[in-house]
Structure 1
Amino acid sequence: MYTTSSVFLQSLANAGITHVFANWGSDHPALLEDLQRQRSENDGQTASKIITCPNEMVALTAAQGFAQVTGKPAAVIVHVDVGTQAMAGAIHNVDRGRVPVLIYAGASPFSSLGEMRGSRNEWIMSVQDIPDQAGIVRQYMRFTSQIESGKVATGVVHRALQIATSHPKGPVYLWARREVMEAEVEYSAVNTSIPLRKWPSVEPVALSTRAANTIARALSEAHSPLIITSHSGRNKDAVQLLADLSTALAIPIVAVCPSAVAVPFSHPHFIGVTYLNGASHSHHLAKADVVLVLDADVPWIPAVQPPHPDARVFIVDSGDPLKIISAVGQWHVDAEMMCNADIVLALEGINAAVQAQIKTSDASLIEERRTAITAEHDEWVRKLDRLEDAWPQDLQAGRATLPNVLGVLRRTIAQKTPSRGLQKTLVLNESITNYAIVWQHMRTEVPGGHITSGGASLGWSLAAAVGAHMGAGNNYELMVSIVGDGSFMFCVPSSAYWIARRYETPFLTIVLNNGGWKAPKMSMLGCHPTGYGSRASSGAELSVGFGPHCPDYSQIAVAASAGWVWGKRVGGDGGNVKEEFDAAIAEAVRVVLEERRCAILDCVLESI
């Protein structure tokens, strides 16, 4: 027997969906039945690989990680209204991260007298039926649609994926009533393959010749130009193009709230990473006379550190320069020009225009700028070195600093991986208040080698590592998830590490344990720097701390995996802190590389 569910699942596979991250419920009998039919007819195999996920947010986050490293969409199946809501913050992340994911949710039956297969036969179906299920997520989706018949299911799937993979990429949401998914169809409906070439993604848009020439001329004539980017490196081809532009005109590059590698860390004109905490923007912003903003949601905070009022500002964004499709509420950047263009095509156009105009540029000014920026980059690197090597004078009593830990981690990876470097290491960074510090000290060189969720909801890094491993595990020697202790608990580790063991996706987790949520404390101090809260004796008193008895995060992972994960808490126990971290990180990396198991280090740092 073939049903609408048969058509739906085969349509996903025909469209190139290789992985479906599923959390099953009472609305999915026909899907489960058809998957078992597939196994019985295909030596135990299903058309797409089904990944069982005991938690919906973990399912969507794993799909996000998969799509981030492969560039290809994954699918997620959840359960009616409650499963849709349980995806919670992951919905925000795939939207803001512009990640193509297809989400499907069943819906309660609309018949209740047994008129059709799938009619209501459980009490819970009445309380899970709401008037507008798609309305739960519509403002975060690029497209929502109901599947109303098996005859149209393939077209609905193809249209959804066509939209999800077109700029600005993002999530789509489909849903269907149980009776519809149970309805029988002819074999021909399942066996018919609609050519995907009939449903192409929208071709990326190039920068107009006028815009490219205007931007190139402004940069070429500037005395103090500046490039700001956040997400340009989501397209790996943009990394070298940006480096070429910076090199040609000696333009400093600042990564503001990045979600991907913009340029190699060693590029002499790369001068830092900022997440705009306090007055932390580059000093170049205040003096820049021309600013080029590439794929950045928040290039600066106007009330805190705006650019010079006379600066010429040019905005280039891949698909949504005014943040309309992304449904951002109040948003504005003072700019001379707003450009909707694919970042790779835009940089190609600007670079070509620069080469045509560079002969008229002031060569001595460019070389003078190049010397100054290179010296600034080199001094920044020396500062990072000093911070990594500045261990507490009393190694028995002191706590390791975050630069200490990251320095050991980076050097250990370089020594232990087969390639003897970080070229084949993927860093998943969810360190929140320590975002910039992790970006800087991990010193990533390779495009795509360091990513974040691109959104603001915590709980991304563990499941994203699982999904990334499933999508591109063969491309990397090691995956490292660096996560704060607060974020770790948002990650639903009981589910994430269970999936990691079930599907054998080994990665290393570094928990930065500062005893609580530092972010809300910093937000409070930003508004009330000398108020009552500033005088709180501890994070626990302020109600943002987890002490005095913090969880042992490493053992949560060990328990969730029934002992498959190797875990250890390190630091703060009175031993030689440098020797502890050297030995623990070396062993953790060895476990992942040689034993192909997950490893986790609960790194105790100075408490908030």
Structure 2
Amino acid sequence: MTTSTYTTSTLFLRSLSCAGITHAFVNWGSDHPALLEELERQRVESGTGKAQLNIITCPNEMVALSAAQGFTQSTGKIAAVIVHVDVGTQALAGAVHNVDRSRTPVLIYAGASPFSAQGEHKGTRNEWIMWIQDIPDQSAILRQYMRHTAQINSAKTVEKSIKRALQIATSSPSGPVYLWARREVMEEEIEPQSINLVSDMTGWPSIELSALSSNVTKIIASSLLHASSPMIITSHLGRSKSAVSALISLATLLALPVINSCPSAVNIPFTHPSYTGVTFLAPGTHWEGLNKADVILVLDSDTPWITENDRPQDGAKVFIIDGGDPLKVNIGYSHTDAEIICRADPGVALSQIEEGLREMGVRPEGEHWELIGADLNDNTESRIDARRLALAQAHSALVTNLDNAEAIFPSISSSGTEEGQGKYFSVTVPNLVGVLRQTIISATPSRGANTLILNESISNYPAVWHHLRPEFPGTVISSGGSSLGWGLGAAVGSSLSGRETDKPHELIVVIVGDGSFMFGVPSSAYWMARRYETPFLTIVLNNGGWKSPKLSMLGVHPKGHGSSVPGAQLSVGFGPSCPDYAQIAVAASAGWAWGTRIGGSVDAELAGLDEHALQKKLNDVIKDAIRIVMEEKRCAVVDCVLESI
């Protein structure tokens, strides 16, 4: 008869569960015997065959952490990641950067080689790899990206170690934490009654959201009120839906233009007149009003502008508000000239500023103003009305420009491609995203309000953000960092997260470049999607390689030797024979996923078709792909050939 032995690992898993963690994304190794044994004990003794945590097997560590990030971004609930000693910690790769920069709380746990070698303890070294995997400072691999790192030293302290880590991870600036333990510690036997002493996070709250001081609130409110040309710049405010509501309210009250600088979330609805567009700070792409603004409110933004390209006028008042790291202390060098810099939650701060304006007598459009004191004879109201009209006109022009770009489809060309000579066609990003957006609206019951789009389009970020025209907070997200490969794993995690809510996403779409697709380890990601039945649509923007390095080269050497040569010659291209991305997904999922390519060499079916027929084909492909995801509950991959780099 099998006997139950309770160990530190019992307390470890129990502590995670009691703290509210429901999912652990795992990649097991020689340091995890006690965890594997404990999970099976739970399955046997539960009578249901289930453990306390949902264990998600991840054949690749970066996909594991990306999936955990997507899970947390979608639900707001922290997830755990379990990896193998130093090598598994290293294999988390660029996902560590992404969870750090996106301020996504994740608890990462790694085992470590045993410290004993002669049988002194249970779990002592008994495999050759345990000598070469024992390094002097395992936490150093990723300490500079973590909010907290700590070693679990005994069964008696494991619960407190986890609670402290989670308290730090979920406090602003939230982010990842890293715990590790030697194998002997996780094998330490405990008394069964100690399991029942594990409690929830009561007594270990996250730090409360901070607010502006009353003096600073008054200064910012008064400055915005009396400004001739005020504006707001934000990047990540939309990570909090309540902050979006506060931004909409203030922007409406004062008719403030809002620019999205390198966004990672939906910060303001596209249809709101204050929505002025998106910039990723390429020269000449910032909002044209930046150099005329006299008061600028920067909210949760790492890079509101780049001085060498576009910048505010001299003398402009700049106020910076950030909920966790206004000085960007974890960035080697960062500086923005400002009058006041505040550590305060943007949503809270915006509500304070609006309340201050209302105390001054400011009222919404259509209501009678009651300006008092020094504001009594001010012409502020008429200036705001004029600004409101100008914003509406500018927004109408923006919509017209986007409509026009989406409507112009390229014709079939006789030029050669990297795959050989002959007729071919490609779609443009406006074509594709326009069709995708319209199809989502018509195919989903909520008309897109309950669709999640994960955007990892990189060099096509500006076009994708613009043409998605996102309307609802939380419906479009990106990694928040710059390490490629987030999207596929995050789509799996986001799909899993829907099972934790009473309103799961109707559709999940991930938009990736062909480079991002390859970085995302599709062999692991689509295996996981099949194993855990997490259907999503993948749109691959296939421009034949890495466009971003070429753009970086052109930014420094616009007329150099490399300025006129194709990507393949620059060694940034994937030709002459690009991978069949859709079939990679099909193979990885053992035939479960569906995939097709649109664009490229023209076959007999398409020869002679005009642009209207090509538009219909794109419509049909996207419609069919969405049907497969929503009705058949399978992954679909559409490889969209763009103009080659």
Structure-1-length-normalised TM-score = 0.98
The alpha-carbon deviation at position 13 of structure 1 amounts to: 0.2
Aligned to 2:641: 604
Q: Secondary structure at the match of 2:601?
A: coil
Is 1:510 matched with 2:539? yes
For residues 165 and 413 of structure 1, what CA distance do their matches in structure 2 show?
34
CA-to-aligned-CA distance 1:163-198 (integer Å, 9 cap, x gap): 000000000000000000011011122221234211
Q: Which residue of 1 aligns with 2:22?
A: 18
Q: Mapping of 1:110-129 within 5 angstroms? A: 110-129=115-134
| Cα separation, 2, equivalents of 1:548 and 1:75 | 41
Indicate the structure (1 or 2) with the bigger Cα radius of gyration: 2
**Residue number among 331, 349, 354 corresponding to 1:346 in the alignment:** 349
Residue 463 of structure 1 aligns with an amino acid whose one-letter code is G
Name 1:522's counterpart in structure 2: 551
Q: Point out the more displaced range, 550-559 or 209-218.
A: 209-218
Aligned counterparts of 1:232 and 1:388: Cα–Cα separation in 2: 28
- 1:394 shift after superposition: 4.4
Give the secondary structure class of the aligned counterpart of 1:196.
coil
Q: Name the residue aligned to 1:433.
A: 459
Paired with 1:364 and 1:339, the residues of 2 have a C-alpha distance of: 31
Aligned partner letter, 1:389: A
Residue 481 (structure 1) aligns with: 510
Pairing of 1:44-55 with structure 2 (within 5 A): 44-55=49-60
Asked if structure 2 preserves the Cα contact closer than 8 Å seen for 1:571 and 1:581, the reply is no
Q: CA deviation at 1:284?
A: 1.0
What's the CA shift string for 1:70-97, capped at 9, x where partnerless?
1111000000000000001000000000
Distance 1:296 1:354 in 2: 24
**Structure 2 alignment gaps of length 5 or more:** 363-370, 414-422
Aligned to 1:36: 40
Secondary structure (helix, strand or coil) at the match of 1:519 reads helix
Which position in structure 2 is the counterpart of 1:206? 211
| Matching residue of 2:627 | 590
Cα deviation for residue 501 of structure 1 reads 0.7
Match 1:6 to one of 4, 10, 15:
10
Give 1:518 deviation, angstroms: 0.4
- Cross-structure match for 2:331: 328
One-letter amino acid of the counterpart of residue 431, structure 1: S
Asked if the contact 1:516/1:546 (under 8 Å) is kept, the reply is yes
Which residue does the alignment assign to 2:578?
A: 550
State the secondary structure of the residue aligned to 2:573.
coil
Residue of structure 2 in register with 1:165 after alignment = 170
User: Do the aligned partners of 2:425 and 2:601 also contact (CA within 8 Å) in 1?
Assistant: no
Question: Within 2, Cα distance between the matches of 1:549 and 1:278?
Answer: 33
Residue in 1 that maps onto 2:405: 387
Q: Which residue identity does 1:19 align to in structure 2?
A: H
Q: How does 1:182-581 map to 2 (within 5 A)?
A: 182-324=187-329, 327-357=330-360, 358=362, 359=371, 360=375, 362-394=380-412, 397-419=424-446, 421-472=447-498, 474-536=503-565, 538-574=566-602, 575=606, 576=609, 577-581=614-618
Supply the AA of the counterpart residue of 1:41: E
Distance 1:394 1:110 in 2: 66
Equivalent position SS for 1:331: coil
For residue 146 of structure 1, what is the amino acid of its counterpart?
Q
In the alignment, what sits opposite 1:78? 83
SS in structure 2 at match of 1:586: helix
> For each residue in 1:435-461, what CA deviation from the matched residue of structure 2 results, as whole angstroms up to 9, or x when unmatched?
111111111111101000000100001
Amino acid at match of 2:467: H
In structure 2, what is the Cα distance between the partners aligned to 1:426 and 1:503? 18
**Partners in 2 of 1:38 and 1:180 — Cα distance?**
20
Opposite residue 439 of structure 1, the aligned amino acid is W
Measure the CA separation in 2 of the matches of 1:195 and 1:501: 33
Within the candidate set 176, 184, 189, 2:181 is matched to: 176
The answer to whether the Cα contact below 8 Å between 2:20 and 2:200 also exists between their aligned partners in 1 is no
Deviations 1:125-163 (Å, cap 9, x if unpaired)?
Answer: 111010000011100000000000000000000000000
Contact 1:482 1:511 in 2 (8 A): yes
Q: Distance in 1 between matches of 2:627 and 2:474?
A: 23
By how many angstroms is 1:572 displaced? Answer: 2.0
Q: Which amino acid aligns with 1:426?
A: L
Counterparts in 2 of 1:46 and 1:224: CA distance versus 1, 3 Å = same
Aligned to 1:198, the other structure's residue is in SS state coil
What letter is aligned with 1:466? V
Identity %: 59
Give, in whole Å, the separation in 2 of the partners of 1:189 and 1:280.
Answer: 60
Distance in 1 (alpha carbons) for counterparts of 2:173 and 2:147: 9
Q: Which residue of 2 aligns with 1:137?
A: 142
The residue identity in structure 2 corresponding to 1:354 is L
* Structure 1 residue 309: Cα displacement: 1.5
Alignment check: 8 A CA contact 2:282 2:309 kept = no
For the 8 Å contact 1:151–1:189, the answer to whether it is kept is: no
The residue type equivalent to 1:347 in the other structure is L
The CA distance in 2 between the partners of 1:165 and 1:548, in whole Å, is 47
CA distance in 2, matches of 1:499, 1:277: 37
What is the CA distance between 1:98 and its match in structure 2? 0.1
2-structure distance, mates of 1:228, 1:534: 33
Between Structure 1 and Structure 2, how many residues are aligned? 604
Confirm or deny: 8 A CA contact 1:278 1:526 kept in the other structure.
Answer: no
Query: In the alignment, residue 432 of structure 2 is paired with which amino acid?
Result: V
Does the 8 Å contact 1:571/1:580 carry over to 2?
no
Q: Residue 302 of structure 1: CA displacement?
A: 1.4
The SS at the match of 1:173 is strand
2:65–2:92 contact (8 Å) kept in structure 1: yes
Mapped contact 2:171–2:207 kept (Cα < 8 A): yes
C-alpha RMSD of the superposition: 1.1
Per the TM alignment, residue 573 of structure 1 is displaced from its structure 2 partner at its CA by 3.0
Amino acid aligned to 1:399: S
Q: Which moved more, 1:240-249 or 1:568-577?
A: 568-577
